Chain A
Amino acid sequence: MPNEVLKIEDLHTHFFTDQGEIPAVDGVSLTVHKGEVVGVVGESGCGKSVTSLSIMQLIPSPPGKIVGGSIHFKGEDLLSVSKKRIKEIRGNEISMIFQEPMTSLDPLFTIGNQLREAIRIHQKVTKKQANERSIEMLKLVGIPRAEAVMNEYPHQLSGGMRQRVMIAIAMSCDPEILIADEPTTALDVTIQAQILDLMKKLNQEKETAILMITHDLGVVAEICDRVIVMYAGQVVEEGTTREILKDPKHPYTKGLIRSIPKLHEKDQQLYSIPGTVPKPKMGNVGCRFNDRCEYAHDRCFAETPELFSIINNRYSRCFLLDDSEGKVVTDAEANIRS
């Protein structure tokens, strides 16, 4: 497609520790198109954040290192451009917001100071213009009394306000894509909804693509167009939000969806997938989910599944979907095929 903003292919980011080489991101491919909101979902430790930091090339090195694959931003290979160019791209064309709004702002400077600074790194504007732009951005992200907030310190703002400021900083240079690493995890539910609304609004008004890293399927349902489910450093399923939520193919995604508390089913114990995410290690054979999967069979332990294509842009890393195998077709699957 011509309007691909971000295209990651077969990304491998490994950490070299005393305990050996750890493939935190192991062959991840994903594409974000212009104006699209893509969710990356998974439990903690599955490589979501490492993927996002790899895009920005903010992997702490050592011990981390991108050992393979490619990251193309509007056709430019980010892994081979100069450090100078990366710094131009960061914050200007690709922006990022983090999980902890409480600590993402420098406590010693006013909000205005930090906004102006962010603007003046990438844009040749006067202090006055930067100031006007800052106030405009604060208004855009829905901060009341923006002029007064400009002179306030981070500790004077609530978590939700700070996350709005972070979004204002991230959006101040009109980036092509905004990477949001669990932007609502540290916020309570009402504020979370407001922040998601804001991001959706910015996405629609400014056509900024968003890569939403989250572990919360509620957030995904709220905002994402497409979803990528990650498990132990790999993509295990990919599809539109509707497809993933209505008709998950991979047993892991099914488990994730089953473990969402439901409003109408009272007196039931909440489902959880047995076991925990395995520690990624080198030279793993077999499906990474095999020890927790209720559908696991011999092949899952002997071979490593590839990402099987189901229909257009719909993938799942499960042998159950391998057409060459005499496979078990589930009811839901039969429905969608027919």
Chain B
Amino acid sequence: MKIEEKQTQSEQVNTNPPEKGQPPKQAKMRASSPWRDSLRQLRRNRFALAGIFIIVFFIAVALLAPLITSYSYDKIDPVNRLQPPSGEHWFGTDDIGRDIFTRIAYGARISLQVGFFAVTGALVFGTLLGIIAGYYGRWIDMIISRIFDILLAFPSILLAIAIVAILGSSLENALIAIAIVNIPIFGRLIRSKVVSLREEEFIMAARAQGMKNGRIIIHHILPNSVAPIIVQATLSFGTAILEAAALGFLGLGAQPPTPEWGAMLAGSRDFIQLAPWTLIFPGVSIMLVVLGFNLVGDGLRDALDPKMKN
């Protein structure tokens, strides 16, 4: 491994003779940048690769939904209700004759979107609050941390239900609820990272160089906290999808005829013995996507953790 690194290094030195004013982009591409090392680590992890494959597959399905199926996700066809999987309907049809494969494909759009926006919202607000609490400390830390504690004291699904109950049942409100539930998870993570970073000598050195707080946060604290943020975001992506499905199942998320996977499960639970495919396919889809994100999340954690380097 070391020899390999040295070789790539010497190769680079040979191909790029040291010139003045090299653009910083080139510097980032160098063989031993911390990010490059992590990427290499990730590529060696088969489980993570499998996870990436699953996620990419579902993203492709979501994007190409209109191309891979000729049915409409909400077209009712009473004649062909509860058909088992066949060449005509790959995953069968549900109780009012809608094509399940089509609904899963369009449902992938919804699940991925919910995951993306809920995680982004939680990440932005959680990181912001976590950095403020961790960096400035004192009373502001006290207030923010206690709010996090209170939010975390609720079972997350119960809190999401409560928020949706206040805002009203809809996919958007479910998304907001999931984002709120995840804010303290990000916030606490970032806060603890920032608290430990603040004690690092290079932060002290940055202050001794006369750097302003804002600059220290953006240029040194944030880049050094990115690793746990990425890992948590990936893992939360899976949980957010699961939570959205749970809310959908309870009828608090997406409303019919939206092909949300959780709502699909709820709509078909009466036919579990008569037409198990109506439950199996949405269920398996949820499981696969969540699994994919968990595998990638674990892989990223290993790749980004310097202690796991071999």
Contact = CB atoms under 8 A, between A and B. Distances in A.
A169 B205 CA distance: 10
Contact of A58 (B26, B207, B212): B207
B2 interface: no
Contacts of A62: 138
A89 B210 CA distance: 7
A106 interface: yes
Interface stretch (A148-156, A223-231, A318-326): A148-156
Contacts of B24: 113
B209 A91 contact: yes
B87 interface: no
B210 A103 contact: no
A103 B20 contact: no
Nearest to B224: A108
B202 interface: yes
Given A96-B208, A169-B209, A106 B202 contact: yes
A194 interface: no
Given A132-B20, A148-B13, A156-B32, A58 B204 contact: yes
Contacts of B21: 127-128, 131-132
A132 B22 CA distance: 11
Contacts of A95: 208-209
A92 interface: yes
Interface stretch (A37-45, A117-125, A247-255, A291-299): A117-125
B200 A103 contact: yes
Interface residues of A, number: 44
A122 B201 contact: no
Interface in A40-81: 56, 58, 62
A151 B27 contact: yes
Contacts of B224: 106-108
A107 B211 contact: no
B20 A131 contact: yes
A147 interface: yes
B227 to A, nearest CB: 10
A121 B205 CA distance: 13
A303 interface: no
Q: How large is the interface on B (under 10, 10 to 19, 20 to 34, 35 or more residues)?
A: 20 to 34
B18 interface: yes
B32 A122 contact: no
Contacts of B205: 96-98, 104-105, 166, 169
A147 B220 CA distance: 23
A108 B210 contact: no
Contacts of A91: 208-211
Nearest to A111: B27
Contacts of A197: none
A112 interface: yes
A121 B210 contact: yes
A4 interface: no
B273 interface: no
A109 B34 CA distance: 9
Contact of B202 (A105, A112, A121): A105
A121 B209 contact: yes
B208 A153 contact: no
B36 to A, nearest CB: 10
Interface in B184-230: 200-202, 204-212, 215, 219-220, 223-224
Given A131-B21, A147-B18, A104 B202 contact: yes
Given A110-B27, A132-B20, A145-B18, A87 B202 contact: no
A106 B184 CA distance: 27
B30 interface: yes
A296 to B, nearest CB: 39
A100 interface: yes
Contact of B201 (A56, A100, A156): A100
A88 interface: yes
Contacts of B210: 87-92, 121-122
A153 B33 contact: yes
A106 B202 CA distance: 6
A169 B33 CA distance: 21
A108 B223 contact: yes
Given A110-B27, A153-B32, A153-B34, A148 B18 contact: yes
Given A98-B204, A131-B21, A108 B209 contact: no
A46 B202 CA distance: 24
Contacts of A97: 205
Most A Cβ at <10 Å: residue of B201, B212, B215 = B201
Nearest to B197: A106
Contacts of B220: 106
Contacts of A109: 223
A117 B204 CA distance: 15
Given A108-B223, A147-B18, A118 B201 contact: no
12 contacts: A90-B209, A91-B208, A99-B201, A106-B202, A112-B27, A132-B20, A145-B18, A147-B19, A153-B33, A155-B32, A156-B32, A166-B205
Interface of B: 13, 18-22, 24, 26-27, 30, 32-34, 138, 200-202, 204-212, 215, 219-220, 223-224
* List of 4 A-B pairs having minimum Cβ-Cβ separation, nearest first: A91-B209, A90-B210, A91-B210, A147-B18
